[in-house]
Amino acid sequence: MNSDDWWKGGRADAMLDIVAERFTPRRWRLLGTACLRRRWDLLPEGELRAAVEEIEANAEAPSASFAANRRKSIARALPDLVAQATADTESLVRGAAMDAVAEPNPNAPALPLFLAAGRYAASAEAQAGRPVELAAAAVLALLDEPGRDATLRAAQGIEDALAARVACARAVSTALRLKQQGDELADSAASAKNKRIELAKAEEIVRRTQEQDDNRLLDADGADRAARKAIARFLHELVGDPFSDYRFEAAWRTETVTNLARAIEAERAFDRMPILADALLDADCDSEAILRHLRGTEKHTTEKAVHTRGCWVLDRILRPDDPLFGSTPKPKRKKKSG
Ligand SMILES: [Zn+2]
């Protein structure tokens, strides 16, 4: 792997190999919380979000009882969160449930559509709690011993949660669509001469719907790919370029610079990063790579800058002794340093 491969970000595992040894528990935790924050809407308000915020705020040295307490409170909160998700979905599909069909007539051509709508509605309800359970598992992973394994489980868990939510939402929309098509067919079949043709139409719609579902199952490793992409993305943010000996002179750490960096980190006020660039310029900082990162105009990547706690520039200002900034790995092809 060289600098170009690193910025392409296609091989998260190889990227982790390069930096893993120099990652502190704090940085592993922050890589994990960054992946979870990226899917913030998958974490219901309350316990799970609070846990992520606390893991992040205490990433350096959480107290001994912290993980145990958080595990307990998540276990306590989870049944209600699952029940809430199930109730929300139930209200969405209520109209498509079988008991919503008035006098289901076994000879009605639309019956296969109503039956299928009912099956999808039941399936949506049955899986409604799954995204929350998977999101909770992702948060719990970050309460385990920090390291590569826990971080990967968190990153994977939240992408699995997303896949589960998409599957549930699809079941909801399929249920509602089939119910609507059933209603339409019931109307048109009322005046149709040949009820068997109408019945065949209904059966064909159900068959095609099932076929589409089967095709989607073939892409089951999508969540795994998404998790690795997220890891690669945040490695760029947490490390910068591991093949580059970024120069950072002590004189650039003026009071203005450090105060600003500390405030940005504490308040997650990453919109102030360009102001930090100006402050560094005032301190005679001439590192193009650092200034570009803060201004979101990096050269090696077209990714929109998404800063997180643990941002490599903030850490160079605030934590110059972090092992990440020690010796750099031997590159196969070295890029110009910033
Ligand atoms: Zn950053």
- Three-state SS sequence of the chain: CCHHHHHHCCCHHHHHHHHHHHCCHHHHHHHHHHHHHCCHHHCCCCHHHHHHHHHHHCCCCCCCCHHHHHHHHHHHHHHHHHHHHHHHHHHHHHHHCHHHCCCCCCCCCCHHHHHHHHHHHHHHHHHCCHHHHHHHHHHHHCCCCCCHHHHHHHHHHHHHHHHHHHHHHHHHHHHHHHHHHHHHHHHHHHHCCCHHHHHHHHHHHHHHHHHHHHHHHCCCCHHHHHHHHHHHHHHHHHHCCCCCCCCCCHHHCCHHHHHHHHHHHHHCCHHHHHHHHHHHHHCCCCCHHHHHHHHCCCCCCCCCCCCCCCCHHHHHHHCCCCHHHCCCCCCCCCCCCC
- The answer on 147 and 73 residing in a single domain is yes
- The answer on 195 and 72 residing in a single domain is yes
Here the tokens at position 265 are 């980190």
Among candidate residues 249, 244, 242, the one with its CA nearest the CA of residue 316: 249
Instruction: List per-block mean pLDDT (blocks of 10 residues) for the chain, which spans 338 residues.
Output: 91 95 96 96 95 93 89 96 96 82 71 93 96 97 95 96 94 95 87 84 92 74 88 94 89 96 95 96 94 89 83 95 74 48
- The alpha carbon of 277 and the centre of ligand 1 are apart by a number of angstroms equal to 12
- The alpha carbon of 28 and the centre of ligand 1 are apart by a number of angstroms equal to 16
Q: Is residue 286, in this structure, part of any structural domain at all?
A: yes
Ramachandran angles phi, psi of 13, nearest 5°: -65, -45
Q: Is residue 234, in this structure, part of any structural domain at all?
A: no
CA distance 119 to 213: 13
- The alpha carbon of 266 and the centre of ligand 1 are apart by a number of angstroms equal to 14
- The alpha carbon of 158 and the centre of ligand 1 are apart by a number of angstroms equal to 22
- The alpha carbon of 218 and the centre of ligand 1 are apart by a number of angstroms equal to 36
**What separation in angstroms does the CA of 273 have from each of 85, 130, 294?**
37, 38, 5
Q: Is residue 40, in this structure, part of any structural domain at all?
A: yes
N-to-C CA span, the chain = 19
- Are the C-beta atoms of 134 and 155 separated by less than 8 Å? no
- The alpha carbon of 294 and the centre of ligand 1 are apart by a number of angstroms equal to 7
> What is the predicted pLDDT for the residue at 334?
45
- The alpha carbon of 166 and the centre of ligand 1 are apart by a number of angstroms equal to 30
- The alpha carbon of 176 and the centre of ligand 1 are apart by a number of angstroms equal to 44
- The alpha carbon of 44 and the centre of ligand 1 are apart by a number of angstroms equal to 26
- The alpha carbon of 305 and the centre of ligand 1 are apart by a number of angstroms equal to 7
Give the other-Cβ count within 10 Å of 267's Cβ. Answer: 9
Which residue among 169, 202, 228 closes a domain? Answer: 228
Fill in the amino acid letter for 188: S
- The answer on 265 and 163 residing in a single domain is no
Q: Is residue 30, in this structure, part of any structural domain at all?
A: yes
- The alpha carbon of 313 and the centre of ligand 1 are apart by a number of angstroms equal to 6
- The alpha carbon of 237 and the centre of ligand 1 are apart by a number of angstroms equal to 5
- Are the C-beta atoms of 230 and 155 separated by less than 8 Å? yes
- The answer on 258 and 185 residing in a single domain is no
- The alpha carbon of 260 and the centre of ligand 1 are apart by a number of angstroms equal to 14
Which residue among 228, 252, 276 closes a domain? Answer: 228
**What does the chain come to in residues?**
338
- The alpha carbon of 270 and the centre of ligand 1 are apart by a number of angstroms equal to 8
- The alpha carbon of 309 and the centre of ligand 1 are apart by a number of angstroms equal to 8
- The alpha carbon of 307 and the centre of ligand 1 are apart by a number of angstroms equal to 4
- The alpha carbon of 273 and the centre of ligand 1 are apart by a number of angstroms equal to 8
CA distance 181 to 263: 56
Q: Is residue 337, in this structure, part of any structural domain at all?
A: no
Among candidate residues 42, 211, 205, 45, the one with its CA nearest the CA of residue 133: 42
Q: Is residue 307, in this structure, part of any structural domain at all?
A: yes
- The answer on 164 and 256 residing in a single domain is no
Ramachandran angles phi, psi of 248, nearest 5°: -135, 110
pTM: predicted TM-score of the whole model, two decimal places:
0.87
- The alpha carbon of 27 and the centre of ligand 1 are apart by a number of angstroms equal to 13
By residue range, what is the domain housing residue 27? 12-228
- The answer on 149 and 18 residing in a single domain is yes
- The answer on 102 and 45 residing in a single domain is yes
- The alpha carbon of 308 and the centre of ligand 1 are apart by a number of angstroms equal to 6
- The alpha carbon of 163 and the centre of ligand 1 are apart by a number of angstroms equal to 28
Which residue among 203, 228, 253 closes a domain? Answer: 228
- The answer on 127 and 24 residing in a single domain is yes
- The answer on 218 and 300 residing in a single domain is no
Q: Is residue 294, in this structure, part of any structural domain at all?
A: yes
- The alpha carbon of 60 and the centre of ligand 1 are apart by a number of angstroms equal to 18
Q: Say how many domains are in the chain.
A: 2
- The alpha carbon of 239 and the centre of ligand 1 are apart by a number of angstroms equal to 9
